[in-house]
Homo-oligomer: A and B are copies of this chain.
Amino acid sequence: MKKVGEPPPKTRLLRAAAALLAESNGEPVSTRQITQAARVTAPTLYHHFGDKEGLFDAVVAEGFSEYLDAERNLPTSGQPVEDLRMHWDNHVQFGLDHPHLYLVMFGNIRPEHRPSMVASAEAFLEEVLVRAAAAARLVVTPREAARSILAANIGVTLMLIAEPAAKRNLELSAMTREAVISAVATDSEADPTTDTEGSPSVVVAAIALNAALQSSHPDQLSSSELKLFLEWLQRISSRSGS
């Protein structure tokens, strides 16, 4: 007869591994510790996960999806740049809450091995940035912006994890956050290319581009292409309403 409240060995292994990894301060955790804590013998571990590394990967993947869920469930403020700040802070907080997990997730990324999850974190951030771009707040490609922001976010979080919890200065995070955000997006007001509302002014942006093209001609377009391009730009710019 089996207790009904008892999770199956597979999840018991996962939880035991996660708990032991979180407790033992970065020192290696043996499979024997894990199987003993899960009240299971060695072969069941290898039956379910194939490998010690397989088990650890599963733990990391679980932590990662926890992180992504948390990110996705953050409320949206309606102001894309403000959302960006929130996601940055959430990332840092996650790292400080699960330092060992975070070190494995972002500090140990070996080529060809782990970056698939990092890529999904990048992709999510890119979504947020696409919304910012739609509000004409972006100054570079959303993809480039996402990579840059994520890189800085990881660096800051690693640095904060590295120093003793008592002495942690979160201003490092805020400062770097503003630095990298302001280089990537123009904050709400004082921007000539945006309307008062969220709906950006295509006309203003077109005019700005038109003006910029007068002084420097890009060589990505042939002269004939450029001619037609400018004509269309002119047409867009001459539109009256918003």
Contact = CB atoms under 8 A, between A and B. Distances in A.
Contact of A133 (B201, B211, B219, B225): B211
Nearest to A206: B209
Given A147-B172, A183-B192, A139 B204 contact: yes
B139 A150 contact: no
A109 interface: yes
A155 B173 CA distance: 13
Contacts of A192: 183
Contacts of A219: 241-242
A164 interface: yes
- Name A's interface SS: helix
A211 B155 contact: no
Contacts of A199: 215-216, 218
17 contacts: A111-B164, A134-B214, A140-B175, A140-B207, A144-B171, A148-B156, A150-B155, A150-B159, A151-B152, A151-B176, A179-B184, A180-B180, A204-B212, A205-B211, A219-B241, A220-B241, A229-B229
